[in-house]
A and B are shown apart, each in its own frame.
Chain A
Amino acid sequence: MIAGARQGRLSGLRRLTALAMARDLRAFLVPGPEIARAHGLDIEAAGLLRVASPRHASVLLVVGAIPPALREAAAIVYAQMVRPRALFALGTQTLSPLPAADVGARLSQDELVEGVHRLRRAFAEGAFRPQVSSFDTPILHVRIQYTCPMHPEVIRDEPGTCPKCGMTLVPHETRAEGGSAHRHHHTMDSGTPGQAASEPGHSGHPGMDHAALVQYTCPMHPEVIRDEPGTCPKCGMTLVPHETRAEGGSVHRHHHHTMDSGTPGQAASEPGHSGHPGMDHSAMDHSAMDHGDGMFMSMVEVTRDLPRSIDGLAMDWIDVPFGPFFPGLPGGLQLMLTLDGDTVARSAAHAQRDMEPLLPAPDLDPVRFVSRLTEMDPLSPVSYRLLACRAMEDAAGAEVPDDIARGRVGALERERIASHLGWLALFAQQTGLGWLMGDAAGLQLHVRHADLKRLMGLRPALRTLTRRLRRTPLLKARTAGLGRLAPDPTLRGPVVRATGIGADARHTDSTCAMLGFTAITRTGGDALARLFVRVEEITHSLALIETAGVVERPEPADTGEASGAGEAVVETPRGEARLQLTLDKGRVSAARLGTPSMRHLELVGPLTEGQELGDALVAVGSLDLSPWGTGQ
């Protein structure tokens, strides 16, 4: 019984296809496969095939609890899956605005396998149902709002005229719940997210009253500038108001061109659009616009004020979201790229806020605090657990015996190996290296919970992987020179160590020094250097674990009734994380967390701008961002 079934009676050919669908389950993972692997789940082994686009998926697999913003994005993904579709939730039950899960299970491999069996039965029996209901949430709707091209702040819900200038309002599509409104493909940087300024040449502006700053110009002849309304002496078109050049360019440059905008003569045949080379206002209804008589407008004039690319051409830009569920990028990272052809012109990346703050209550039991930090980042739980333990012990002034410290270091290094392997799998998914994706994912799942003996047993496999990776043809061509960063001491983790700076929080840890720790650095600061820093760190961590001789998950020491302020740093797999907290009679009263990804998110902009799309994505991927826990 699945909610996303197709309408119809299950008979004949439909039954055959339902059986085929039950055998051929394709899953789209939310937030991402790296989260599933971090929880120890092997999706392929359970019988599900992973797909990159929700359109090709029949199962939406939600792994773990996800914050509300991501749930809304997941609802959009669910709505874009074709029927029959099922929702499979692991380890979470709060799913709104998604519908209720068709199959639910806990976060364990056995339950996953059993859930897949139930899913297969559900498809075989319930892929077609006589009665189905549509899936609808407000987030899927567009609202048509009417706004004035001159004054983007004027927004109305029904057509009319602008109160400020009297122009007819033009319709726009926006998201039903605010958020980023429908942007025009604007290449001019007028401060407002471009709602308005795209409509050119509206003749017929009854009673417009403009401030002195506004001048009137002819859409065909930009050199004709007057201070009051009138007609153009060259072509007779009504002059149109626009802001002066100093404020970001002419409003007439319209970027919704159709494909035949290259041949300017065609425009004359389009109704109501004579005079503008082939502009297609498919996104909006411009029946209110009436351009004057047709005149030729060359491409040079049309593109006069647009920003130019490196080769001097001014083309149209489009805003394309690459998050939060993009294959190859960490799930939950909201990335929006403005593409100029296949080059990234601008980019914006941010992570979503977490579900609850670091300290949900002002006075928190230390055990609960430790588990709160453990759950905060599913990609490196042990590191943050260790961070919480150390910070509390520092605040309480407690000392940790040597063997426990060594066991903690062992667990931290084990997680480092698992995290780097997970990153390698993500990198392989992004660049299409099939063998690496399978091998790294498999090894990560083995390493995650391996004890010391098992880890040593995995050593040959790890060595084979690194050797094979070094010998991969075209790897250097794919990654060398991409995402180059200058040495910058504010960066952390493998990112900074790949630039040659050997900054590592483990330098301050006496236990690590005793075990023979050295920071692995490389010069170059590009994606290739970061890749090899991580690969070499895997080998080094394995050696550290062997010297430590024990691997033990960090447990918080009993702090009793201690009070005080404490601080601790831990070298998470992504970089140094710092926690400052205050203990008040044995309970945590204040805490502040700094994660490496907070800093690295700012790198996304400079690294991607001007790059080809594939290169930009590899550069972002090489930063190994963790979008969790950065909202603190």
Chain B
Amino acid sequence: MVRNRTALLLFRLVLGGLFVYAGAIKALEPLDFAQSIRNYDIVGQALSFFAALVLPWLEILAGVFLIAGVWTRGAALVISGLLVFFIALTVVTMVRGLDIDCGCFGAVDRKAGVSVILEDLAMLYLGLCVLCQKGAPAQKGTGALEALE
């Protein structure tokens, strides 16, 4: 795992930024995202609806906290957990032979497939590096701005 502070800061900014972006797109169009979740055919209509309302905000909040350097490891745990879930979901979807949009970045037409898994694995690596760092930056007073100094 990477331990270099500058690299970890970069990881936080990239990963946090991606999650804020992905969350914001989905938060703007909750019904489109609900349909994307429903298409996976794993949960019903009601759960798809409520997941579509909550998941984008979880992504946004975790991303913002990661960028800000507040509760960094907690945010990294949320993001890593989500990524593990997304990867498992995509694998199951491929095994079941479903040809559906992944819903990763809103309504962009992109199939749930190998490229999505590789992308999620790369992000998971960044998330785990941040999660496994020794001591949270916030504890040591090394938030994003201070680390840049």
Do A and B belong to a common assembly?
no
Chain A interface residues (CB < 8 Å from chain B):
none
Binding site for A on B (CB under 8 A): none
